[in-house]
Structures are given as structure tokens and as C-alpha cells.
Structure 1
């Protein structure tokens, strides 16, 4: 059983310091998931084919409309004209061919000795010979009658026919001839044949030659046409249905194409899709990682941060997210710009007060992202309402940085006015950036709600801060400033009952605050703790030398042991009084620890002188505990040094410096800082700071003659 005790303690330590943290983070993440899940839940639009739409329906995603894209491409292909090619050299080629025709006829005629007197058989043989030689060319299209007429013509008439045919072909094909115009051009060329030099047979033969050799020189180019149509189709951009695009407008008749688009973007899908839910989980996981990271950095920077800070941070963060969800329903009222009244900067302002600026800034950014998602749901937009998210980010940014360091409470007019100004400027910037039309009513309401939000933020902060300070016993800067008010009942009690102690505490406060700021500790906490550290002396004020105004010292009439009991009890009497007044634990701890386990030397030496027996030194030591924080260590040093310097006769810089060093060395060698995380380097800085402060207080002064009279 004894061996299992350390294991149980280790498990308990892990559970309290690590497991509980992750459980809190997980709970906050679950709350966010519940608030934001509406962004991924299927939205079934209330639409029916051939009925009037009752509301606008927007696309939740970006997607390509393949059917519409294909239709546009087919339209582009259909509207692209066919490509044609013009062959300028074809006229000469055809003239050459007709020349070859007549050369062949002349050659066969000479070989077969064909003339007008030849028999039909000889003519037919010659025609067949001509056709054989012209086989495979366009000349073979000529009829037997035409070839027979040309082969029986005289050489003179044949030469005239060649010239007429060549000229007619060249002139006819000198212009572009399409297939649709070919017959018209051929007929025109035939009509221009001269009748004076040709008989009817030759005219008919040349007519056939012209029809055979005049051909289209402006023809369809299949490859070029195909390429042009492909290029036209590829230049057509894809038809994209953008996120937030209105597919169905309120009051319109729902068509088949609208239904098809709604199905395409998934608004009419019946099957369950888990991917959006996983995406939301990843987004919230990222937010919660930042949430934990910022708290971890805060915890590392501070000293002995309790888990109550995480509880408080989680409540503010989750509460702010719930506030966003609640205010998102204000859009249902239909009032223009009412969304801008959301006082989200309350969260960043409170985190700024209770934690620090960095955590407040990061939390504002995370909550702005949450807000853009939640308002995207309520606005029936697609996942994110980016403009509203930007507005929330700027508003929370103002809440994180607007509060002054020494401001007791966020002032409604000052702080609220600054946040309201940022909100109004943010709304104006968004309106201008989006080119939103300005109208007196909607624009005025939007700016008015944005300004109102700034003042609501301050009112909520002032109302909620006492609840968090009391419920979590948080010592915020605002609370410290309130405790430093001279009209606080305890400070009035010290002033009235122990005025010397009061002025001593003021000096200690000034010295301790500056020294803490030098080493990066909480100077405000040290100042306020110093105000109250000697409140226990109000029980028996006359037993402390600073309150003995009449010069009578009660310790002269009592034993050193009784004096010891009275003096040593004042830190613990003070702690008890502070607890009765429900003062923060940090201030109570400083009051209880500010003497540590130091030795009451004066009465110890006095007791040794009056006793014949050996006096144990431990009887004249404070029972402790020793200082646990840097602020308590600085207050202890400032308290002892200020009291010692006050008791000096004619202090000067050299005496003060030696005294400061001696007390520092004495406390260090006595082990008074063993339980505190203050370093030697920091102690040296504290020593120099206290020495410099005391030099400014106890500087040398001019001694004026007693009989010095004012000159007139």
C-alpha cells in the first residue's frame, strides 16, 4: 500500500493538471460543434416544379454545371462558320489540262489519220484511243460525241477551239468559284462562245469542254473547319454555380432547369453525406487547438496559474459563441442592420482584463470565425458570412486593445465610444468595399446598431466582471485598482489606527512596484499588497515604533518573549483580518509571507542579554511560510529596507547603498528565497531599483540657518 501511494499521487496530478484541461477543451469544442452544425446540415428548399418560389435559394457550394457548359460549347460549335480555301493557281492548271486534251486529240488524229471523211468505225476507234490516253483525268468526263466532233475537226478549227476554250476557262476561273456558283459560271462561259467562227457541232463540243474543265477554286476545308470548331468550343468558359449565387428567386416560377441546378449543388439530395460533418469537425479542431495553445502560452508566462483560469476562459469563450447564436436569430425580425448590434467585443474585453492582450486578440479572431459560420447559417448564405466575420474581427480587436492599463473600470462613454467608433468605421468600410447602395433608412440603422453595440459591450463587461472576480476569486487589474483606493475601509482603518504604518506602507508600495516592473513581475499587485501587508499592526499599533508618536515604547516594560509574541503575530493577524474582509488570496499570501522565517534580532539579542540560559534562535524566528512569489519577495525586501532606512540617522547615498546590500545578502544567506522562483539576476536588479528609489527619497538637503529672514 505504501508503494502505491506515489503512483496514486502521480495519477491525481496528471488528472488535475492535464486530463481536466483536455476535458474542458473537449467540452468547449462540443458546444461549438452544436452551435455551428447548422452550416452542414442538409437544407431542404421548399420548392416544387411549376410553382412560385416562396424565398430565395442560394447555392451552398461552388460547382461546375457540366450540362450548361456542354450546351454553350455546342452553341459555339454551331455558330462557327466552315472554313474555305481559295486556289489561285487552279485556273492555270485547268488551262494546261485543256491544252493537254487538244494535244492528245491532235496526236491521235494524226496517227489514225482521222478527218471529216473518216468512217464512223475509224472515228469510234480514235475516240476510244483518246479516252484510253485520258483515262484517270477529268478529261475522261467528255462524251464520245464531243471527242468525235473534236477529232474530225480541221487543224485550223481545232486550234481556234483550243484558244477559245483556254481563254474561256481562264477568265471564268479568275474569280472565286464556290460549288454553289459553279453551274452559273459554266453556263455564263458557254454563253460567251463566239458563234461566228464555230459551227453548231464545235459549239456543242466546246460547251462540254468548258463544263468539264471549269471547276470550283474556292472549296470547303474540312481540317481547318474542324480545328476552328474545336478552338471555339475550348474557348467557352465552364459554367460555374458560385457559392451564394441565387438559383431560385422569390416570386419566380420554378422550372426544370432550376430543379436540375438545385440537384447539382446537392440541395435536393436524399442520401446522407458525412464529408461536411468531418470538415466542420476539422475546423473546430483547429479552433480548439488555437484555444489551448493560447491558454498554454498564458500559463507558461504566468506563475502558478490555477486551472480556474481555464474554466473562466472556457466559460467566456463558450458563452460568447452562444451569444452569437442567440443574436443570429435577430435577422428573422427583418430590421436592416440589426445583426451589427452583436456585442461580441465583450468577450475580448473581459479576456483582456482577466488574462492578457494576446489571448484576447487570438480569441477575438477565433470567435469572429465562429460568428461568420453561424451568421452564414442564419442568412441562408453558403457556409461563411465573410463580411460579417470581418466586422466581428475588427470589433473584437477594438475590445482587446481599447482598455487602458490603469483604468479602474471600462468607462461607458470613453471605452464604449471608442469601440462604437471602430464598429461604425468597419460597417462603412464594408458598405463601400461591397459597393452597397446607401439608403437613409438601412444605412442609418446599420450604423446606429453598430454604435449601440460598443456601449452594450461596456455595460455587459461592467456587469459580468464582478461575477467572474467573485466566483473565480480572480485578482484582475481592475480589482487591484479598486483595492488601491484610499477610501477602502481597511486602508482607512490603517490610516486612523496606525498612521505611521500607513505612511510606511505607502513608501513600501512605491519601492516594490518599481522593483517588480524592472524584473517583469506584477507591479500593480506588489503595490496593492504593500498597502495591506502590515494591516495586522492595527491590533496593537503602539507596539510598533512607527506609531509611537509620544516617544513611549511599551516594549521597555515587558519581557523580550512577550514582545516577540506581539511582533511576530502581526503578519498572521493581518492575514486573518484580510480574510475577514474577503480580500484576494494573493494579497493575503503577501501579508502572511512578508517576513518569511526571518529572525527578530533585536529581541533575540535582548533576551540573550537578560537570560543566563541558552536561548534557541528558532524561538525568535517568524514561523513562515517563506515567500512563494516574486511579488512577495520584493515586498519583503522593500518592507525591511524601508524600515531600516527610516530608522537611520542622517541617511546618505553611501549609507543607504551599504544597508541595501547588507539586507539583501542577509536574506539571501538566510535562505528566505529558497521557495520562490526569483533568480539571482533578478535579485540584483531589484537591489539596484530599491537603491535608486531610496536615493531619490533620502537625498541630501541644504541646512538653512535658523535666523534666515526673507528679504523684501
Structure 2
């Protein structure tokens, strides 16, 4: 703590977070450090080696993809329109020849001849041939004159119309019959031979068969066409559908006594299990993990609305609790060498969350639970370094949450044990959930051991919490809810002292406590702290109880015989005396602050004006409390409640309107006197406080029926006083 006082907040937190990060890294290092082996190619394995993780074997995956691509056949597209085009082409050739034959008989030239040729003599065979070729060149999309020899056209021109017509039909029929079927490029030659045989065996005139065969073979082309684009698409689809080849976590890479061949050696190298080729990825991953933990803690404390000194205590406390939890995890982790299955379930998972819940708050306890469950998943790995045990992570998470939840509304120390028992029950349920959902086969002894682990985990969490709590509270000066409840016990020696020596003050303190607690809870402040602070805020009055009006039971007021200055000193002294007594009894700083600040620097008006009558030169500062002014919302609420309760108690039969006006005036007076300038209370919260005070006071000082006997006595008393 001395070191902490020498360092400012930023330097201290930076040092603590760095040390905590190093300790967490060191605590988890052994569990992520990959186990490497000193093996050589073609040597014999001295032990069975298993994969510590699941990784993709990219070389094997690529090999499988290449094989899948090679297995894809070429994609062909059957185009029916090609058949019709080829039939039309070959019949068109016959039609052009028939047309020329008809023109020759009638003496009418072809439409393609010019005017001068219409008057010419009949064409010779050679001229007909040239004219036919010219006509085909102009009217047919393909240059058939180059593909088909002139001899074929010459034969056609010499044939009769009847033979041509017959040949045309036969060739068209054969071509159509063949082209209706799928023909690939490598089949064309064979099919041309087949069609030549068919036409050769047909009834076509012998002198036309050669020409018919030539035209038919020319018409035969491939109609089942190779499509490179579709083929590539099929290859891509096949490649994408190959599942990545993976080496699974826990998979045996090589059995003990087996030869380490090239494939095995390659897999060991890929997994980073060779000492000659270590991997740094696990260490980088651990650095990222630790950074996330420290970042989470830093952001939480950065956004925490608390004094820097209090933050420092909380940071140091959190670090110690985390380190204790990690040490316990590692100790239990080393016990796995005893061949005890699921020994990790014995870890007191609810300890750290319950400690944080009691000394800080529920929200941060949940954050610590999540952090510990993540750390536990690394430490309690399944005998394979670098793996994550999600089962133990779930176990630690829900066990820690159960401890926090069952403790939420049970803040007394004995209830820690009850929370531990409840956590043990939850642990048993979690273990059976994990065992049953896995569907494994377990003996009765296995179930018995697991139940024992669960019970020990819950009970040890409670025992460690109760054992460590006093040390943390004393060492860090923390004010936990449990500590406040202990201080509120009426059997506490100082409360007994107030009750016996200053009963009026005790009653006043209880009334102020009721007002303060209700108001603080309404504005989100610590109501329990305000209540306990009220119990002790006037402790100093026990030194001279009869000098305070609430303790003057049918006795003469001693202030009537004292000078204003002496009365002032006695009244002011109750604050300093109370603070001294609280510090002597080692009360928490928050309680001492409320006692010290509940009057702020307010003016003792009665004695000031009394002194003013005797001496006009009296200074107002001499009749003010020494302060300091309220620094927290709780101290401000207690300060206002103290004045309000005393003022209302002095009124006879206060009405609702009178109480409301009185509370409003007191709050307004505090504002004008700048007594609330040093705390972060808002005007909206003051309005809420006013309404709560009015509601509570109306309930306390409600009108009561006066019985006749009491009424007569009261009238007699008033008559005597008159």
C-alpha cells in the first residue's frame, strides 16, 4: 500500500495490468506450448504421436482437387439444327442441278445469266459446270465447290432428272437418319464409311452412286460439339465440391514402433511437431487472448465511476483473486498425471465470482466468471496441449454464475455456505448433462467420482470465500455489503453505547436512517451504506449526551447557563469526537466520511444569533462546522435527512403541506449555502429526494386519534404553561 501511495493512478494501473498480463501468460504458457518431437525421416517412432489440433492438409486437398478435375469428362452439346442444315445443303445441290437440267430442256437460261446470254446458243457441258459452280458459290453459305471435286458436279449434270430425284431422296434419307443421332468428331470417319456402304447398297443408278456417296459424306459432320466453357464450369464445380482434407485433433499420426515415412514426416512438419520446425502461432494466439482479458478489465475500470484510490484497490484486489484462481487451476491441472478422469471438475469455480460479488458488484462478478471459464478451457485440455476444452468451460461458467446468483440477495456471511451448496447442486446437474449428452459409457465409480468432484467444488468455493474474505476486507479496507450488514447489527458495541448512553440520539439516528436509505435507493445511491452511516453519524454525542436536545428528558437545558461560544464548541465537538471514535474502532472510511461530512460547514444559527446579540463583531465563520462539505451522494442525503428529521420532530402535529414546505426550505437552504457543491448530486435527484422524504415523513408523523384521557391531560398541560 505504501508503494501504491507513491505512484499516481495511471502508473500504478499500468504496472498492475502488465504484471497481471505476464502472470496470466505464464500460467497458460505451459498449456499452449506445442509438444515437439526429435524424429528423423525413416526412423522408428518411440511413442504414439497424435495431432494436437485440427488443421487442413493443403497438399492433400490440392491433390484431391486435381484428381477430381481430371475425372471430369469433356462436355458435349448436341445441336439438332446441324442435321437440318446439312440435309438442306445436300438437297440444295441436287435442286440446283435439277433446275439447270430443266432450263436446258426448255431453252430458258438460269436466272443468274445476263441478258446477252439469253439470246445465246445452248450451253456446253463445261459451261454448265462453271455456271453450276458459280450459282452454288453465290447461293450456298459454304464454299462447296472447293470441298467437292468438279467430277462430282459433272456426273450430276450428266444424269437424268429421274436418277437425280431418286438419288436426292436416298441421300437425304440416309443423311437425316444418321444426323439425328449424336455424332462426335472422332466418330465422323467411321460414320462416313457406314453411309458409303448404305448408299452403295441402295437402288441409286450406278453411275450416280459415287457422286451420291461423296455428297452424303460431305453432309456428315459432328453434331455433338465439345463445349470448352461448360467443361471448365464442370471442372470448377468438381474442384469446389472437394472437401478439404483435414488432420483431426487427436488423430494418430504414427503408432509407436512404426516407421516414419515421407507422408508421416510431412504431416508432423505440417502440425509443427518437429523440433527442427517449431511454430509460433500458439504463442501469438495466447498473446491475443491475454490482451483481450486485460483490455476487458481496463475498459471496465476506466468506465467505473469511483475515486482513483478506490479503483486502485479494486484493480489490485481483482488481480490477486484472478492469480489465486489461476494457481488453483494449474495445481489441479498437474493432478491429471494421477490418471484421474475429469479432475478439473474439482476446481472451486464459484470462489472468485462470489468474492468479487461480495466486495464489488454482481456485474463485474459475471465478467470474472467468463474470463475464468475461458482460462479453464485452456488449462484443463484433454491431455493435448493447445486444445480447448469446451465442456469444462461450460462447467466453470455455470458454476460461477450459480454462486453469484444464489448470493445476490443473501449478503450475510452464513449464506455463503448456502450459496456453495447450491453451486454444488448445479455442478452435479452440469456434470450429468455433459456426461449424458456425450453418450459415453461410464461405470458407477466414474459417476461417483464426478459427483464427489462437483460437491467438493461447491463447498470449497464457499469455504475459500469465507476464509479469504476477512483478509481482503482488512488488507484493502473495502466496505462490502456483508460488512455493512454486520455493522448494522444492534448488538454492535458502539450501537449499544449509543442506545444506553444517548437513547434520544439512537432514535433520531434510526429515523434518519429510514429516510436516507429510501432516498438513496430512489436515486441509485448505496442505500445500505447510508443507513449504516446514519446509525453512527452522531456517535460523538455519547460523550456529552445531555447537551443535545433529543436526550434532554424533563431536565434543564444546560446551554442556558453557557456562553454561545462554549455551546458552539460542545455542539461542534460531537462531529470530531465521533470521527475519532470511529477511527479508533477501525471503521470503514465510508462510514467515517459520513460522520465527518454530515454537517458540512453549516452555520450554528441559534448560537450565532445569540452571540450576535452580545457582540456585534462576531464572525459567522466562527460558528460554522469545520467540514468538509459532503463529498458523496450518500453523505449529502444523510446531511439533509438529519436536518429534516430534527425539524419535523420539533413540530406539533405537522401537516402534509407543512412537511413539504419544511423539506423544500431545508434543501433550498443547503443549495444557497453551497453545501452540496462538492458532490455529484443533481437538481433532479434533489427533487426525488424531496418527494421521498415527504412520503416517508407523512407516514411517520400521520395524524393519530387522541383518546379523551390524553386529551384532558394535554389541555391541562397547556393551561398550566399559559
Category of TM-score, reference length = shorter chain: 0.7 to 0.9
- CA apart distance, 1:623: 1.7
2:59 is aligned to: 66
Aligned counterparts, 1:366-445, within 5 A: 366-376=371-381, 379-380=384-385, 382=387, 384-405=388-409, 407-409=411-413, 411-432=415-436, 435-441=437-443, 442-445=446-449
Aligned twin of 2:276: 270
Counterpart in the other structure of 2:641: 638
Q: How does 1:95-494 map to 2 (within 5 A)?
A: 235=238, 238=242, 240=244, 242=246, 244-248=248-252, 253=258, 256-268=262-274, 270-271=276-277, 273-298=279-304, 300=305, 305-376=310-381, 379-380=384-385, 382=387, 384-405=388-409, 407-409=411-413, 411-432=415-436, 435-441=437-443, 442-494=446-498
Contact between 1:39 and 1:374, CA under 8 Å: does it hold in 2?
A: yes
C-alpha displacement of 1:561: 2.8
1:451 offset after TM fit, Å? 4.1
**Greater mean alpha carbon deviation, residues 526-535 or residues 328-337:** 328-337
Say whether the 8 Å CA contact 1:59–1:242 is kept in structure 2.
no
In the TM superposition, residue 351 of structure 1 has moved relative to its aligned partner by 2.0
CA distance in 2, matches of 1:582, 1:243: 63
- Change in Cα spacing, 1:518 to 1:676, as seen in structure 2 (3 Å) is same
Q: Distance in 1 between matches of 2:244 and 2:338?
A: 33
Consecutive unaligned residues in structure 1, runs of 5 or more: 1-11, 93-136, 138-165, 187-216
Q: How far does residue 646 in structure 1 lie from its aligned partner after superposition?
A: 2.0
1:628 aligns with 2:669: no
Q: Which residue matches 1:16?
A: 8
Q: Is the contact made by 1:491 and 1:532 (CA closer than 8 Å) also made in structure 2? A: yes
| Residues in 2 aligned to 1:438 and 1:337: alpha-carbon distance in whole angstroms | 13
- Cα distance between partner residues in 2 of 1:241 and 1:74: 13
Conserved 8 A contact 1:500-1:547:
yes
CA distance in 2, matches of 1:502, 1:236: 86
Q: Distance in 2 between matches of 1:473 and 1:531?
A: 20
Q: Secondary structure at the match of 2:517?
A: helix
Between the aligned partners of 2:386 and 2:618, the Cα distance in structure 1 is 84
Deviation string, structure 1 residues 320-357 (Cα, Å, up to 9, x no partner): 33433333223322212211222233222222222222
Query: How far apart are 1:560 and its partner, in Å?
Result: 3.3
For each residue in 1:565-617, what CA deviation from the matched residue of structure 2 results, as whole angstroms up to 9, or x when unmatched?
A: 222101111111111110001111111121122222333344445x3664333
Structure 2 CA distance for aligned equivalents of residues 35 and 376 of structure 1: 14
Indicate how the Cα distance of structure 1 residues 75 and 525 shifts in structure 2: closer, same or farther if over 3 A, else same: closer
Distance 1:239 1:445 in 2: 41
State whether structure 2 residue 668 is matched by structure 1 residue 674. no
The question of whether the paired residues in 2 share the 8 Å contact of 1:560 and 1:604 is answered with yes
Cα gap change, 1:30/1:394 in structure 2, threshold over 3 Å: closer, same or farther? same
> Does the aligned pair in 2 maintain the 1:354–1:474 contact within 8 Å?
yes
C-alpha separation in 2, matches of 1:663 and 1:229: 89
Map 1:60-99 onto structure 2 (within 5 A).
61=55, 63-67=56-60, 70=63, 74=67
Q: Distance in 1 between matches of 2:308 and 2:635?
A: 12
Cα deviation code 1:368-416 (max 9, x no counterpart): 223323334854353x333332333333333443322452236245312
> Alpha-carbon deviation of 1:364?
2.3
Q: CA deviation at 1:676?
A: 2.1
Counterpart Cα distance in 2 of 1:615 and 1:229: 105
Normalized against structure 1, the TM-score is what?
A: 0.73
Q: Could you tell which deviates more after superposition, 459-468 or 642-651?
A: 642-651
Q: Secondary structure at the match of 2:251?
A: strand
Runs of 4 or more, structure 1, over 6 Å off, are: 12-15, 46-50, 78-85, 221-230, 301-304
* Correspondent of 1:685 among 684, 688, 709: 688
Q: Equivalent of 1:37, from 15, 29, 34? A: 29
Q: Return the alpha-carbon distance in structure 2 between the equivalents of residues 296 and 612 of structure 1.
A: 54
Separation of aligned partners in 1, 2:406 and 2:307: 23
State the distance in 2 between where 1:664 and 1:226 align. Answer: 86
Distance 1:428 1:223 in 2: 62
Counterpart in the other structure of 2:664: 661
Matching residue within 562, 568, 572 for 1:564: 568
> How many residue pairs align between the two structures?
654
Deviation by residue 1:258-285 (Cα, 9 ceiling, x = unmatched): 3321222222262454454334323322
Deviations 1:423-480 (A, max 9, x none): 3444444445xx5234444345334423432222222222222111111101111111
1:438-587 equivalent positions in 2, closer than 5 A: 438-441=440-443, 442-587=446-591
CA–CA separation in structure 2 for the residues paired with 1:668 and 1:78: 89
Q: Is the 8 A contact 1:411 1:458 kept in 2?
A: no
1:489 Cα deviation after fit:
1.4
